[in-house]
A and B are shown apart, each in its own frame.
Chain A
Amino acid sequence: MYTLAPNTMAKESDKNNNSGTELEYIPVDVSQLRVGTLVDRPLYARMESRNKFILMARSLHPLEQKTLDRFLRFGHVYSIFPALDERYGKLAMSVKRVEELLFDGSLAPFEKTSLIRKDTEWLSDLVMKKNGDADVAVFFLNKLLHVPHPQTIDYVVEHSVDLHEHSLRVASVATLLLLWTEAPKEEFLKDFLTSIYCEELSVYRDDSPNLRLIAMATAGYTAQDSDRAYSFELAKKGEIPGISNLDRRVVETLSRRGKMIQYGDELAEIVELARWICGGTGVQFRVLWESRLVRKLSRLMNFSLTDAPRKAAA
């Protein structure tokens, strides 16, 4: 296996790009790459003969075996971004700390949420403010919960790459909000994240898929609530790989999310707020504006709906 020593992190410039600005390609240690894990930065392979960089793995996608084989064959892997731990210095520590807190049975719920918020306060600036980076929530929860499963992501990516990334962001932000407000058990968090991820994609409906794909590719695709309900039905029935036996509270909440928001269910409000933060369509803004959740977050985390990075994300 080709391994690059950590101290040989030489930076190379891309002479071939046409944009005029030079990109710096940082060598990546191939031995650190694992099949099935979520790729945290775009990975390039370098063709020695032509001195060109080829994009082989996109960020937010699971690393496939054939891609890793190619990397091993090429031997040189680069990225234009530094490693996740270098970009977010507190990430690893926060994951470890939250993991400990989730399994700590000696804490009362309000103490647990308080400590979790304290340990992940730096995330709120990135996720819930303008010009932030919602992807950090994805990486944080992926390292914490190890969901969605690679086979689930593969199945979803087959339908739409762009919507996969959007759904992953929405699901991660919603789960992070849930972690900050309720701090339930780990199994519940996993089910919650996976369910929203599959629900938000909304393109499983099988009426004339070609036309839908064409419409998505050309005129832009707007997910409907009925599409989400249909998608969630598939997840509920276990027809999506990697998902089975969902938690009943998640099922009841997401099956009737519109009604549950009207009833003041906080779980449903969390999903709606995450969709608002990530630039989702058809969000019930008026309900959110009056929701207890937003008041709670504004008090606890200095959150404001108007400061949410909706426009930037959209």
Chain B
Amino acid sequence: MIEANQIVRQSKFGIEELLRANARVLYEYFFSTRHVGRVLDFLFYEAKDALAAVDDGEVLEYRVRQILETSIFNGFANYRTGEKSKCIEIEYGWDDVRMITSAVFWVEQTCAGFMPGEKPNDGVAGRIQKFIENISTLADEVVVRFDPRSGRFQIVGIINTAGNDVATKKAIDYVDVSALSPSEDGNSTHSTQTAASTVQPEALSAADIKDFTEDEKKFERERGRLTHVKEAEEEKQAVIEARVHELEERKRKKAMLDRRSTGSTVEDPEIISRERRSHENLADLEFRDREKPSKGTAFSFVEHLEKQANDQIETKKRTALGERDRQLIADTSSDVIRVRGGGSESEQDGPEVVLKTERLSTDEEAVSVGAIDRINTRDDFLTVKNLSIDLSKAPVESPLSEKENEDVEEVLQLLLKAVRAELVVVLGDMPEDRFEEIFRTISIRLRETFLQGIHHITRVRNIQLVTKIRHYKEQLSLMSGNLESVKAQLEEAKATVKETPVATDSGPTNQTGQAMSKGLLQDVVREKAALNEKVRQIDDHLRKREFDFRTLEASMVEQIRLKDEGVKQKQFAVEKMKEMMTTMMENLERYKKLVATSVSEAEMKMKFAASEKLLASAKESNEKLTKRTDELQKKWSEEFTARSQAQEELSRTKRHFEEFQRRTSEASLKSVDTRELAEVTTARDRAIKQGEELRRQNKELQEKLNALMGSGSKVAAGKQPGAAKAGETTDAESRHKLEHAAKLNKALQEELSRQKKRFDDLKLEETKLRVEVAKLQNQLKNAGKSPPGGTKSGFGKTSK
């Protein structure tokens, strides 16, 4: 429990927002109804100063206590299903003008129509409706806050403690949380009569919620939603309700004062000191309480159910409540919850508050009173019998008690006032004496009729009661008759057993007995055989069933084993997939790093285009050079052939010349004739001439060839100085340049192909990775969907 001294939150709808700054708020969570009385005692001990400051503090305590208890028990009774622990949150706070209670619990989301005047859609809604009506009779104002989406239900009861500001008209307000946005939550509300869709909630302080609801109603009236006639009826109804409520309040106050006149709950200094001590050291108190339940303190709560029942029977006799309440308790004895308000030791058997609530089935506090539920023993029977005999002394017609007569008189006066008001409206033009005469006549008849009705109701009630008791008595007499007859039969049987003589072995009786025993033995043997046969059949059947079961078990075990193997395989596959996935992720990371560190694709393309262009130009120049080289080689070979032919001709001429010289020398030696000599000389001259001519031609050819070779090397070597000096030098240079160009071309082509290959490899690897990732994801997805016992991997479920 906590005290909230400062109200700081404005966005929430706790009861703190409904109280002033000097408020105190206590709250507690109930997970069972077992300790309700003790907790509430503690709550009221905390609020004793506030209660003492109010004129009718006892009545106020009574009202608040009843609101809280009704809320808690109804909360547990109507709690939604499916909860492992039911939790009721209770808030209870006060300031100098108000005392507010709140109970929060959870009901079914489908619960609807529980507001008074609506049609409940189920039994829970009906019970909640009655519960709200009960609370509305105790509190000055009730606010119901419900969230249909979650089922969170909150009921807030507001009691005005400042006498002058007490509103006589009761109001029930409803807040549908689902109709509010979170920012508006707690800052707006609307009445039951207003539709959430038509009324736009305005921002206002929660403390002004009452004014707000009044404004809402006024606004609705102005819009014509409530007609003039309805308004007048409402006002009349309100006057009557207020009067009835005032009457009830007065009665309740009287009852409370009577009850309190015999003792005090918080005024006793001994109790106050003990409670203060317990508050300061709660643990010690609890240990003491557990060892020995403290009776008569503010924390005392009768825990033993038997004692509760006895106390209540005795209390009924002494209670200060009216006869009608006692009758009410007697009629609904199984639904009564008794709560002791506390007191001193001497007050242990003193007056108690007896509350009637709806039927509760949740906890042990709901006890049956005044009767034994089931007759199990003879003592129980006798007790019920004596009880019914006492009840039968009740008169058929019981006159009203003095207090009831007063009540009837008050109600009658109220009724007459209302009738007079109606007559004034209808017979306003009638003379006064005539009007008084008519009213007197009407009032006499009304009084007679009313009293007759009251007596009739009392008579009927008593007759019903007496009839019921007579019926019970008849049943009891029948039961007692049966019991007597059973007892008689029992005695007779006992006597018969005692009087039955033991059979002796003598004469015909013996023979008859033997025959009878023989027959009996035969029957027994027959029965035994039949039983043996049946036992055999059952054994066979059992064996067969056992065999079937074992077969089934073996097959099931085999199936389980197969499934386990399947699961293991799946798990293994999943693990493998995970490993592969990890590898893939690493590759992906490596690839991403590689991509990040290498040049971009556009740059690569540009390089590739430039390389291609360079390659094309190199190819073109290479082709040109090759062509030129071929031409030069061809020319060179032609010239070389001509030169070799010339050299061959020269050598042949030289051979002819040498032959001629040899012949000449032979001729000179052999003294040949003059004519022959002349001819030889002429031939020699001609040969010399021919040789010179050939030398000249050879020289010219050589020069021409040199010239040709020089021009070719100039073209190939870019006119290098000294390039045309010799044919071999120019040729070597050309070949070298050609080879260089080819090398360059080859290197460029290799670089280009390498880049292309790398680019293609990377693309291929990326594609492969994508395919493999998709494949793995699909496999993992399939693995995640397969058998229920299989491992559900987080990766496997997610492939798309």
Contact = CB atoms under 8 A, between A and B. Distances in A.
Interface of A: 105-111, 114-115, 118, 155, 158-159, 182, 184-185, 187-188, 191, 203-204, 206-210, 213-214, 239, 241, 247-249, 252, 256, 258-260, 262-266, 290-292, 295-296, 299-300
Contacts of A114: 282-283
Contact of A290 (B9, B151, B286): B9
Contacts of B106: 248-249, 252
A209 B9 contact: no
B792 A109 contact: no
7 contacts: A106-B290, A108-B42, A185-B85, A241-B792, A290-B9, A291-B9, A292-B14
B395 to A, nearest CB: 47
B147 interface: yes
Nearest to A266: B89
B28 A110 contact: yes
A259 B89 CA distance: 18
B32 interface: yes
A252 B14 contact: no
A188 B31 CA distance: 11
A248 B12 contact: no
Nearest to A187: B84
B97 interface: no
Contacts of B31: 109, 184-185
A247 B14 CA distance: 25
Interface in B17-57: 28-32, 34-35, 38-39, 42
A206 B798 contact: yes
A111 B286 CA distance: 7
A274 B38 CA distance: 32
Contacts of A184: 29, 31, 85, 87
Contacts of A248: 80, 82-83, 106
Interface residues of B, number: 53
B150 A182 contact: no
Interface string B767-800: 0000001000000000000000000111101101
Contacts of A214: 585
Nearest to B147: A263
Contact of A206 (B11, B30, B585, B797): B797
B599 interface: no
Interface string B172-205: 0000010000110110000000000000000000
A182 B87 contact: yes
A300 B182 CA distance: 29
B602 interface: no
Contact of A187 (B85, B87, B149, B182): B85
B497 interface: no
Given A109-B35, A207-B798, A213-B585, 9 more contacts: A108-B42, A110-B39, A111-B286, A184-B87, A210-B581, A262-B183, A263-B13, A265-B152, A290-B9
B2 interface: yes
Among B35, B84, B87, which residue has the most Cβ atoms of chain A within 10 A? B84
A204 B87 contact: no
Contact of B185 (A111, A191, A256, A263): A263
Contacts of A185: 31, 84-85
Contacts of A264: 9, 12-14, 186
Given A110-B39, A110-B42, A207-B800, A105 B85 contact: no
A210 B582 CA distance: 10
A230 to B, nearest CB: 12
A210 B773 CA distance: 10
Contact of A209 (B149, B186, B794): B794
B411 to A, nearest CB: 43
A136 to B, nearest CB: 23
Given A110-B42, A259-B182, A292-B14, A239 B2 contact: no
A115 B286 contact: yes
Nearest to A251: B82
Contacts of A252: 106, 150-152
B4 A247 contact: no
A214 B16 CA distance: 48
B794 A300 contact: no
Nearest to A106: B290
Contacts of A210: 581, 585, 773
Contacts of B89: 266
A188 B798 contact: no
A295 B2 contact: yes
Contacts of B2: 292, 295-296, 299-300
Interface of B: 1-4, 8-9, 11-14, 16, 28-32, 34-35, 38-39, 42, 80, 82-85, 87, 89, 106, 147, 149-152, 177, 182-183, 185-186, 282-283, 286, 290, 581, 585, 773, 792-795, 797-798, 800
A109 B84 contact: no
A245 to B, nearest CB: 9
Contacts of A110: 1, 28, 39, 42, 282
Those 6 A-B pairs whose CB atoms lie nearest each other, nearest first = A206-B798, A108-B35, A264-B12, A262-B182, A185-B85, A188-B85
Nearest to A109: B29
A293 to B, nearest CB: 10
Contacts of B152: 252, 263, 265
Contacts of A249: 83, 85, 87, 106
Contacts of B1: 110
Nearest to B183: A262
A203 B795 CA distance: 11
B392 to A, nearest CB: 43
A131 to B, nearest CB: 28
Nearest to A209: B798
A299 B3 contact: yes
Nearest to A293: B2
Given A110-B42, A182-B29, A247-B83, A263 B177 contact: yes
A114 B281 CA distance: 10
Contacts of A259: 150, 182
B38 A108 contact: yes
Nearest to B14: A264
A267 B56 CA distance: 38
B701 to A, nearest CB: 84
Contacts of B11: 262, 290
Nearest to B178: A259
B181 to A, nearest CB: 9
Contact of A158 (B35, B773, B794): B794
A296 B14 CA distance: 15
A209 B795 contact: yes
A188 B286 contact: no
Contacts of A295: 2, 4
A158 B182 CA distance: 37
Contacts of B150: 252, 256, 259-260
Contact of B39 (A108, A191, A256, A291): A108
Contacts of B28: 109-110
Contacts of A213: 585
Contacts of A262: 11-12, 182-183, 185
Nearest to A156: B794
B754 to A, nearest CB: 32
A105 B283 contact: no
A282 to B, nearest CB: 16
Given A155-B792, A252-B106, A109 B4 contact: no
A105 B32 contact: yes
A185 B29 CA distance: 12
A111 B85 CA distance: 18
Nearest to A218: B589
A210 B290 CA distance: 60
Nearest to B287: A115
B8 A290 contact: yes
Contacts of B80: 248
Contacts of B29: 109, 182, 184
Nearest to B12: A264
Nearest to A154: B791
A109 to B, nearest CB: 5
A292 B84 contact: no
